[in-house]
Amino acid sequence: MSQLFSPVRIGPQEFANRIVISPMCQYSAIHGDANDWHMVHLGSLAMSGAALLVLEATAVEEIGRISHGDLGLYGDENEAALHRVLGFCRKHGSAKLGIQLAHAGRKGSAQAPWEGGRALGPEGDPWETVAPSALPFAEGWHTPREASEEDLDRIVAAFAAAAERAVRLGFEVIEVHAAHGYLLHQFLSPVSNRRADQYGGSLANRMRFPLRVFEAVSAACPPEVAIGARITGSDWIEGGIDIEEAVAFAAELKARGCHYVDVTSGGIALNAKIQIGPGYQVPFAAEVRRRVGMPVWSVGLIVTPEQAEDVVASGQADMVALARTVLDEPHWPWTAAQVLGGEVVRPPQYQRAAPAVWPGAAYKRTGRAGPRLAAE
């Protein structure tokens, strides 16, 4: 039996298989509001056969957006717009739904990737960013304001308020984004955090604010919601976060009731020397799982069904989270199920393409005609 298509429990939630569709920014919201693009994009992925679909990094306050096109959950209009999209996903899809709550910090006030991905110029309606220290993300980027105690209190409250909105919207999973160089990662990393107060210096101090945020989100969630965090396994920079610090942070999250960690890496600076290759981030997840003893998701160039199966079957991760793989092939779980002998739920409108009734499915995979192909 395929392990990738076996059920798994993460905290209070049971999932039909081990496939997660990872948060992927679309940079297509209007004033933080989801729209028809999100309806089509998320609606399609909700029907993909994955057990869980996690919405893109969603800003908890307006200045916490990466770009003008980021999804937000800081106002009633944001909540209402998402309600419409989620209704479609639930009506037609089988995936459970999660959301990743985020704050961009010093990486905010930026262009969308197809506009260049750089800091907004005066003509781009930029905004003031905040960060642990007044250090720009890279040359040519805005210098952020060092966050004051008032800023930190406001941001904690914003995460809690966004979590309350997410609960009202019925999300089964809420994930705190503490990776990819965004605000909570900025506090965790010595590369971006040079504070001399209780939030800087030692690892215990650098973890203090991200843990405050996690506790606030957790307090806003009822017992039936699975709460997790995306963390970094390495900054890929000398003097930055390494696997030892990642393990320590995961252990602190576990002690506070975190149900899983989604282990990624990089993003804190442009000069990081990341060694990219198939499954290049899986070892970070495996080490956290082994040493902390909590469920983990793994990401990073997991592309083929066989590769995903191996990650789960070998015990390196409990679930695999796919991003660009499903942008390239939105029904990747259908293909994986056929390759590995698993089962997925298809919308009734698409069941005519299932391998049991359409010989073209086998032909697509093997290049050999099935017994009914000529009749088709």
CATH at residue 320: 3.20.20.70
Q: What H or E segment, with its residue span, contains residue 211? A: helix 203-219
Per the CB < 8 A criterion, the answer to whether 192 and 268 are in contact is yes
152 and 92 within one domain: yes
Amino acid at residue number 233: G
354 and 282 within one domain: no
Per the CB < 8 A criterion, the answer to whether 147 and 201 are in contact is no
> Which among 182, 260, 350, 363 is annotated as catalytic?
182
Chain position carrying tokens 């609960």 = 167
Which pLDDT value is given to residue 375? 45
332 and 364 within one domain: no
* Residue among 297, 308, 300 at smallest CA distance from 281: 300
The answer to the question of residue 75 being in a domain is: yes
Helix (H, G, I), strand (E, B) or coil at 338: helix
The answer to the question of residue 1 being in a domain is: no
Question: How remote is the C-alpha of 186 from its chain's centroid?
Answer: 17
The answer to the question of residue 2 being in a domain is: no
Pick out the chain residues at pLDDT < 70: 368-376
The answer to the question of residue 293 being in a domain is: yes
182 and 166 within one domain: yes
Chain position carrying tokens 């309806």 = 39
353 and 279 within one domain: no
Per the CB < 8 A criterion, the answer to whether 44 and 94 are in contact is no
375 and 226 within one domain: no
Per the CB < 8 A criterion, the answer to whether 165 and 171 are in contact is no
291 and 180 within one domain: yes
The answer to the question of residue 73 being in a domain is: yes
280 flagged as catalytic: no
CA angle 285, 291, 293 (to 5 degrees): 85
CA–CA separation, 262 vs 297, rounded Å?
A: 5
374 and 320 within one domain: no
* Residue among 157, 177, 173 at smallest CA distance from 299: 177
Q: Please count the other Cβ atoms lying within 10 Å of the Cβ belonging to residue 161.
A: 17
367 and 289 within one domain: no
Helix (H, G, I), strand (E, B) or coil at 375: coil
Task: Tell me the residue range of the domain where 254 lies.
Answer: 8-345
Which pLDDT value is given to residue 374? 44
Pull the structure tokens for residue 128: 């003031």
246 and 221 within one domain: yes
375 and 308 within one domain: no
The answer to the question of residue 155 being in a domain is: yes
Which pLDDT value is given to residue 376? 44
Which pLDDT value is given to residue 366? 74
- Torsion of Cα atoms, 112 then 120 then 35 then 72, to 10°: 110
376 and 260 within one domain: no
Question: How remote is the C-alpha of 305 from its chain's centroid?
Answer: 20
CA–CA separation, 222 vs 57, rounded Å?
A: 21
Which pLDDT value is given to residue 4? 98
The answer to the question of residue 3 being in a domain is: no
Pull the structure tokens for residue 35: 């729209």
The tally of domains found in the chain comes to 2
The answer to the question of residue 54 being in a domain is: yes
